[in-house]
Amino acid sequence: MDERFGRKEPPHIVRRLLQDLKQDQEESWEEFAERAQELATDGYPDTPDRFVQTLATYAFLKGCVDKRAALTAMDKNLDSLDQKVQHVRSVVANQKVIMGTRRTEIKGVSCMEQNDDNEDQQETSIRAIMKSEEGTYQMNNFEKRLKKTEDDLLETKIMVKKSND
């Protein structure tokens, strides 16, 4: 009956999920810790709570987005998952105060083809995308200025070509 109505996945599959657990970008520390705890509990059903807590803590630290904060928390010999979560939260806050916010990460690479009269060129454009306060993505200001400069250069080339003809 337990197999039919109880757990959704067999413990050996849940253990693999726990092993590969990664924090989602928008997931809070508490939500991620809870997910690690649930997977550890479901993956090791007949195991003492102390051992399950240790496994959940290890999976939480291993899957944290901020590896530097996780490493600092791992160095501390704290007893519970809740203490580790609070320590990671504290380390991340301290890092923001001391080092500022993270640098913009490159989120996308796009290719575009340009036809300059009879020439076919393929250029690679790397775009830096930042998250705004509202949660929407916006193009980096530098990329906008670069695009305008490229457009102006293309217009100048066309004008020079017309004047030479």
Same domain, 122 and 139: yes
Instruction: Judge whether 57 and 84 are in contact, CB under 8 Å.
Output: yes
Q: What pLDDT is recorded for position 140? A: 59
Helices marked H in the chain: 2-5, 11-19, 29-43, 49-63, 67-75, 81-99, 141-164
Q: Determine which helix (DSSP H) or strand (DSSP E) holds 128, and give its type and residue range.
A: strand 119-131
C-alpha radius of gyration, the chain, whole number: 25
Do 21 and 91 fall within a single domain?
A: yes
Q: Are 33 and 86 contained in the same domain?
A: yes
Domain that holds residue 42: 2-99
Domain boundary residue, one of 99, 118, 146: 99
* pLDDT at 147 > cutoff 70: yes
DSSP state of 134: T
What's the confidence (pLDDT) of residue 75? 78
Which residues sit opposite 127 in a β-bridge? Answer: 108
Do 77 and 92 fall within a single domain? Answer: yes
Q: Do residues 70 and 113 share a domain? A: no
More confidently predicted of 43 and 111? 43
Query: Within this chain, do residues 114 and 91 fall inside the same structural domain, yes or no?
Result: no
**pLDDT surpasses 60 at 51:** yes
Mean pLDDT of the region 115-144: 55
Q: Residue 47 gets which letter from DSSP?
A: S
CA-closest candidate to residue 11, choices 36, 50, 35, 46: 46
9 and 41 share a domain?
A: yes
Backbone angles phi, psi at 45, to 5 degrees: -65, -35
What is the domain count for the chain? 2
Same structural domain for residues 95 and 145?
no
Contacts of 108 (CB under 8 A, 6+ apart): 126, 127, 129
The amino acid at residue 62 is: K
Higher-confidence residue of 147 and 114: namely 147
Which is more confidently placed, 78 or 29?
Answer: 29
* Largest pairwise CA distance in the chain: 86
Residues 91 and 135 in one domain: no
pTM exceeds 0.85, yes or no: no
- The pLDDT tens digits of the residues spanning 1-46 come to 455 556 578 888 998 999 999 999 889 889 999 999 999 999 999 8
